[in-house]
Structure 1
Amino acid sequence: MIYDVIVIGGGPAGLAAAIAAKKEGAQVLLIEREGRLGGILKQCIHDGFGLQRFKEKLSGPEYAERFIEEFHSLEIPAKLWTFVTKIRKSDQDFQVWTVSRNGVEMLVSRTLILATGCRERTAKQVSIHGTRPAGVYTAGTAQHFTNLQGVMPARRCVILGSGDIGLIMARRLKLEGADILGVYEVRPEPSGLTRNMIQCLEDFDIPLHLSETVTRIFGDDRLTGVEIAKVDEQMQPVPGTEKRIDCDTLILSVGLIPENEMAESLRVTMDPRTKGPVCDSWAMTDVPGVFSCGNAFHVNDLVDYVSESGELAGTSAARYFRELKGEADRTAENWISVETEGGLAYVVPQKIRKSDLDKKLVFYFRCRRTMGESMLAAISAGKTVFEKKYQAVRPPEMERVVIDLSKADIVGTSLVFQLGEVQA
């Protein structure tokens, strides 16, 4: 059987993509390497999910279950406990090799949606020296132990990084009786959402130490302590500021990396700013027929936006052959490139189809640094075609903006986004 769409990944992005593609009439298959659908949401038992989409405060499993129920109601086939080992592109389709309990299988699809999510950085990736004792976990691993396996991973705990998962685990372990000795952040400002700073640290009197980091770990069989040092403006340890903290657990919340090994194997162009693929306003990469969504595209703060991204990819993949007949014209005159200036770290999507210039499009962006009252502007051929004011912007908090391109009067081959503080 030749599928219209194969979705790789059964988390919130993959589920939304598969549902959207099926509703467009496509023959869809979803491949998931775990034994259950839902992705990381299965272990996120805290609430706060769904506020944008459902206007309700849901836990991660509750949010995922709404999509899983719809997925099954549409009778979309899924292969669980199945790993994709190789993908090969031919003129008209993609050959996807998988391995599962049933052995090796080759599947064929006209389009692919990469909804592979992201992974956490490890201790070695942030240059922490020392031995390799038990007790050094990423925040996601500690969350898995605590929430899914019912295993208490820590008694005296240091947390490195103020990312959202680390903040949530600080609160979770505190509730379970662990002594949280402190959250240490190498940057001069927190990396998590403001609501998590308040609800997870301030409400539980957990200390936050900025411009400090872990430089060394101690212990043979089990972690016995960590070395903490202050850092300078270049985030390098300051000699003479080292101190030892005795603890049995170090939890790392030091950033996420989109999982894009499969995209790279297909020679998809990657954006060094997002660590994800360069995509257009259809969520398609520069390899025709390959779409990306969710945290594989760029790391999101809210699962609501992950699902929105998945729906766009699913709808676009299903329409790809029906509307474009498998062809993607990438000549300059048919495309608008999205460029960034000023205080922007990135804007996605990175390209706009000229056929979408009569539509409303959603753009996501992050700023480079914390700014007060700021103005986002979109400029075409030297003319400002869109503006939006923000009371404040912070790098940890991704922003979403909807622009009606039919009213923007875009000309030429580029749309430049600028972000700057409003001058008093």
Structure 2
Amino acid sequence: MKYDLVVVGGGPAGLAAAIEAKKNGVDSILVIERAKELGGILQQCIHNGFGLHEFKEELTGPEYAQRFIEQLKEQNIEYKLDTMVLEVSPEKIVQAINSEDGYMIIQAKAVVLTMGCRERTRGAIAIPGDRPAGVFTAGAAQRYINMEGFMVGKRVVILGSGDIGLIMARRLTLEGAKVLAVAELMPFSGGLMRNIVQCLEDYDIPLYLSHTVIDIIGKDRVEKVIIAKVDENKKPIPGTEIEYECDTLLLSVGLIPENDISRATGIEMDRRTNGPVVNELMETNIPGIFAAGNVVHVHDLVDFVSGESRKAGAAAARYIKNEIQNGEYINLKNGNGIVYTVPQKVRVENIEKSLEVFMRVNRIFKEVKLEVRAGDEILLSTKKNHMAPGEMERILISKKKLEALNGKDIIFEIVEGKQIISCDSYDSCTIVPVGGDK
């Protein structure tokens, strides 16, 4: 089999990339999806809040996915479901298998990797205690309730305050369960502020920051969960235990970009994002292999996934048509308070009007100044009232400014303001100046 473009993954990222590549003149496209339906995780996200940036209206996850599925079909883009990609070689040879076609070897001119991400499990974080039934990842519980029609429990404790966990706190409450508490190891939530308000505060569900589960008790089914406060080294503090009688524990303890294929291909990885290192075109270090969406870094809004993936799809089309310019790379680096930047390196020649940079901070900041500089030159300085790890930041830098850098590295940094060091709750936090100690 031969295709100009193979897209690995049929979720929101893969759909957007394939559609954009088709709009940019690539006719021979194959989308490969391992699930039985297109749309990825969105199919189980029946709550609204999607599409505000992309479609200027509020949609549910399945509605958002359906918009792109319909576009894919209108463009007559070929796709294979229930198909597992086994390997992608640096030469863009894709090996895949399914029950209908059997083992396939597909030669592509370009590949876009859009495999999304997976949840951390109990084993990944080593929670002590018994091993009864009733311990679920938040995403698994979401699928059981929203797609399979099974209720996972009646009295629930949630560990981790990522967006999926927060949304499931509300979902379980609406289905008649009692959510007793949400415990978060970090001194800040990993979710969006709007989800903390709409999913916890609106339903009087307590959020315990700097707390974790220290024991699970139960023979056949979960009977009790014990949480405790942790110190600055994330170690439980004796005497702070809180015991809950419950039948279910949900884990919302982080997402991991799905990059087994990327690593096997030899793609350079960024240990900060657990995703590929990409350039201004979302291209990896292997020419012609692109990556976009949650496989690169975990996004908080699917609208940003779609926008980033369109960029990868258009760039893949440029690669196929041999329209990409080679030039010297400028490196993007994170300074004080910044966890990572995406992309990690850029060539000015391939930027049209401005460079879009996504980043996350490493703690909660209040009334701060974010500075972007190259050497002594300040490219951008902006004030932010609130920055948090659960909320991705987006910065635009004009091409004109980049052209004047002469190859200097760009540094993103929090230079002044206040930072939150520790919290028991959102009403009780230790706040110090940026750069100060507790």
How far apart, in 2, do the equivalents of 1:350 and 1:247 lie? 45
How far apart, in 1, do the equivalents of 2:348 and 2:395 lie? 19
Would you say 1:53 and 2:54 are equivalent positions? Answer: yes
Query: Taking structure 1 as reference, are residues 238 and 263 closer, same or farther at Cα in structure 2, changes over 3 Å only?
Result: same
How far apart, in 2, do the equivalents of 1:294 and 1:88 lie? 21
Please tell me whether the aligned partners of residues 90 and 286 of structure 2 are also in contact (alpha carbons under 8 angstroms): no
How far apart, in 2, do the equivalents of 1:340 and 1:32 lie? 34
Please tell me whether the aligned partners of residues 381 and 411 of structure 1 are also in contact (alpha carbons under 8 angstroms): no
State the Cα distance separating 1:200 from its structure 2 match: 0.5
SS in 1 for 2:410: strand
How far apart, in 1, do the equivalents of 2:79 and 2:300 lie? 27
SS in 2 for 1:13: helix
How far apart, in 2, do the equivalents of 1:267 and 1:17 lie? 22
State the Cα distance separating 1:131 from its structure 2 match: 3.1
Please tell me whether the aligned partners of residues 160 and 184 of structure 1 are also in contact (alpha carbons under 8 angstroms): yes
State the Cα distance separating 1:228 from its structure 2 match: 1.4
State the Cα distance separating 1:89 from its structure 2 match: 2.8
How far apart, in 1, do the equivalents of 2:284 and 2:72 lie? 25
How far apart, in 2, do the equivalents of 1:54 and 1:324 lie? 30
Aligned to 2:331: 337
Q: So what's the TM-score if we normalise by structure 2?
A: 0.92
How far apart, in 2, do the equivalents of 1:282 and 1:394 lie? 27
SS in 1 for 2:105: strand
How far apart, in 2, do the equivalents of 1:417 and 1:410 lie? 15
Would you say 1:278 and 2:277 are equivalent positions? Answer: yes
Aligned to 1:315: 314
State the Cα distance separating 1:361 from its structure 2 match: 1.5
How far apart, in 1, do the equivalents of 2:416 and 2:66 lie? 41
**Which residue identity is paired with 2:21?**
A
Residue-pair matches, total: 416
Aligned to 1:421: 416
SS in 2 for 1:372: strand
SS in 2 for 1:130: coil
Q: So what's the TM-score if we normalise by structure 1?
A: 0.95
How far apart, in 2, do the equivalents of 1:412 and 1:105 lie? 44
SS in 2 for 1:306: helix
Aligned pairs for 1:187-336 (under 5 A) are 187-324=186-323, 329=326, 334-336=328-330
Deviation readout 1:323-353 (Å, 9 max, x if unpaired) = 357xx85xxx611111111111111100111
Aligned to 1:97: 95
**Which residue identity is paired with 2:414?**
L
How far apart, in 1, do the equivalents of 2:369 and 2:277 lie? 25
How far apart, in 2, do the equivalents of 1:85 and 1:356 lie? 32
Aligned to 2:423: none
**Which residue identity is paired with 1:231?**
V
Would you say 1:17 and 2:12 are equivalent positions? Answer: no
SS in 2 for 1:385: strand
Deviation readout 1:254-280 (Å, 9 max, x if unpaired) = 110000011000111111111111100
**Which residue identity is paired with 1:254?**
V
Aligned to 1:36: 37
How far apart, in 1, do the equivalents of 2:370 and 2:141 lie? 38
Aligned to 1:64: 65
Consecutive unaligned residues of structure 2, counting only runs of 5 or more, are 419-432, 434-438
Aligned to 1:129: 128
Please tell me whether the aligned partners of residues 183 and 209 of structure 1 are also in contact (alpha carbons under 8 angstroms): yes
What is the root-mean-square deviation in Å for CA atoms of aligned residues? 1.6
Aligned to 2:85: 84
How far apart, in 1, do the equivalents of 2:411 and 2:209 lie? 34
Return structure 1 stretches of 4+ with deviation > 6 angstroms.
none
Deviation readout 1:76-98 (Å, 9 max, x if unpaired) = 000100001122233xxx21111
**Which residue identity is paired with 1:359?**
K
**Which residue identity is paired with 1:98?**
A
Please tell me whether the aligned partners of residues 11 and 114 of structure 2 are also in contact (alpha carbons under 8 angstroms): yes
State the Cα distance separating 1:33 from its structure 2 match: 0.4
Aligned pairs for 1:326-365 (under 5 A) are 329=326, 334-356=328-350, 359-365=353-359
**Which residue identity is paired with 1:380?**
A
